[in-house]
């Protein structure tokens, strides 16, 4: 399957925080096809362990996350419309006038739109549009009233997830889709598992994907406790700033060296290892100073402390229906991850842990 086809398959899956099942099933099927036996943590994270034949081999964890941002129905109004609570971070300005799917408890998929206020209804009122609160945005499934919505199975607690088509940009170098944060990571770990299928390494690898990253890095706390790694590599997507007059995160400039975010500072040993590995493997990299977090923020505080980092790319307009990202950036990140896991051994791990 070509890279774009793999991206399309994963990004068009709809799965939000706490409801990662469709992505987990996709990963499980592919892992088994590649000859691995997946296992699960108590919240639904999925991982495979590739055990080294070397005695007392260091344990290295490589983890994406499966969830995309979405919403949960908090109330059903008398007119049949819904109000929601967000699952993950949303800018209210990107929510209105969009298509979504609502998933009921009995498995129905119901089309929903967010209501944008037409300019006609503002004329003559003297009102100035204000930034809406997410809780005030109207989600509309075109039902006649609340009773009809319930007849179709809609209940409080149902999830609402963006629905979009993944397309190739005109230049053939970029892709437009939802959920590259973090189906990027899911595809990265599958490609890594395929690359490693017939290889023996001096480290034991735990490779897979966590749940509920978008609502507080929850899955990573569970999985790092379960698998007890010596090092942790999150694989995640970060926001590009290049169209907003900022050079912190530019499309097409390679994988990122995420030196800082509000919940994680890269340790010196990890920094030296990543820079040396990138130079030796001729990987295009860019320094990135983040304003949000990844699972590395939870993992590095687990157990007795786990040196961690994020192997990432940037994308424009993440946490919206239409994200733009670069295919070459993905390839650089994949080659970087391959070089990292292929070069690690007990001595290198010891050096990385030298803070």
pLDDT for 115: 87
The domain 3-68+178-352 is classified under which CATH number: 3.30.413.10, 3.20.20.70, 3.40.630.10, 3.90.730.10? Answer: 3.40.630.10
User: Is residue 155 within a helix (H) or strand (E), and if so which, with residue range?
Assistant: none
Domain parsing of the chain, residue ranges:
3-68+178-352, 70-162
12 is catalytic: no
Q: How many residues does the chain have?
A: 355
CB 216 within 8 A of CB 209: no
pLDDT for 123: 60
Q: Give the dihedral sign, CA 118/121/126/129.
A: negative
pLDDT for 130: 75
Tell me which CATH homologous superfamily contains domain 70-162.
Peptidase M42, domain 2 (2.40.30.40)
If you ran DSSP here, which 8-state letter would residue 247 be given? -
CA torsion angle 244 245 247 250 (round to 10): 40
Q: What is the DSSP string of 251-308?
A: TTS-EEEEEEETTEE--HHHHHHHHHHHHHHT--EEEEE-SS--THHHHTTSTT---E
Q: Which two tokens stand for residue 342?
A: 């292929």
Q: Is 110 helix (H, G, I), strand (E, B) or coil?
A: strand
Q: Which two tokens stand for residue 178?
A: 């939802």
Q: Which two tokens stand for residue 8?
A: 């399309």
pLDDT for 127: 64
What are the residue ranges in the chain where pLDDT is below 70?
Answer: 1, 116-129
Query: Active site residue: 213, 214, 304, 347, which one?
Result: 213
Q: Which two tokens stand for residue 124?
A: 């003559």
For 317-335, write each residue's pLDDT tens digit: 999 999 999 999 999 999 9
Distance CA 14, CA 17 (A): 10
pLDDT for 131: 79
CB 206 within 8 A of CB 36: no
Distance CA 171, CA 225 (A): 44
Using CA atoms, how far residue 15 sits from 4, 58, 91, 117, 321, in Å, is 20, 33, 19, 28, 14
Distance CA 67, CA 179 (A): 8
Asked whether the domain spanning 70-162 has the same topology as the one spanning 3-68+178-352, the reply is no
pLDDT for 116: 67
First to last CA, the chain: 42
């Amino acid at each position: 399957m070509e890279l774009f086809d793999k991206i399309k398959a994963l990004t068009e899956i709809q799965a939000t925080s706490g409801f990662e099942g469709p992505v987990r099933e996709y990963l499980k099927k592919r892992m088994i096809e590649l000859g691995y036996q997946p296992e699960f943590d108590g919240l639904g994270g999925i991982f495979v362990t590739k055990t080294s034949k070397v005695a007392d081999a260091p344990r290295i964890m490589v983890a994406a996350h499966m969830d995309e941002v979405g919403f949960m129905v908090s109330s059903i109004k008398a007119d049949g419309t819904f109000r929601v609570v967000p699952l993950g971070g949303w800018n209210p300005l990107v929510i209105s006038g969009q298509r979504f799917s609502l998933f009921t408890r009995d498995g129905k998929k119901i089309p929903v739109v967010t209501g944008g206020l037409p300019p006609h209804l503002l004329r003559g009122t003297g009102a100035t549009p204000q930034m809406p609160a997410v809780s005030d945005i109207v989600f509309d499934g075109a039902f006649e009233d609340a009773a009809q919505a319930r007849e179709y199975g809609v209940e409080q607690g149902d999830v609402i997830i963006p629905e979009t088509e993944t397309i190739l940009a005109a230049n053939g170098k970029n892709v437009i889709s939802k959920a590259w944060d973090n189906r990027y990571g899911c595809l990265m770990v599958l490609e890594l598992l395929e690359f490693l299928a017939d290889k023996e390494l001096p480290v034991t690898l735990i490779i897979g994907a966590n749940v509920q990253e978008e609502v507080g890095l929850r899955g990573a706390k569970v999985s790092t406790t379960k698998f007890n790694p010596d090092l942790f590599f999150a694989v995640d997507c970060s926001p590009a700033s290049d169209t907003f007059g900022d050079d912190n995160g530019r499309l097409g400039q390679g994988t990122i060296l995420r030196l800082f975010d509000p919940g994680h500072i890269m340790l010196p040993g990890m920094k030296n290892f990543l820079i040396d590995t990138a130079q030796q493997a001729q990987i295009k990299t860019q320094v990135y100073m983040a304003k949000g977090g990844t699972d590395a923020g939870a993992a590095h505080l687990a157990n007795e402390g786990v040196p961690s980092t994020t192997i990432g790319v940037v994308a424009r307009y993440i946490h919206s229906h239409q994200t733009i990202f670069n295919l070459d950036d993905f390839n650089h990140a994949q080659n970087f991850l391959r070089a990292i896991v292929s070069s690690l051994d007990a001595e290198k791990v010891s050096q990385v842990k030298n803070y």
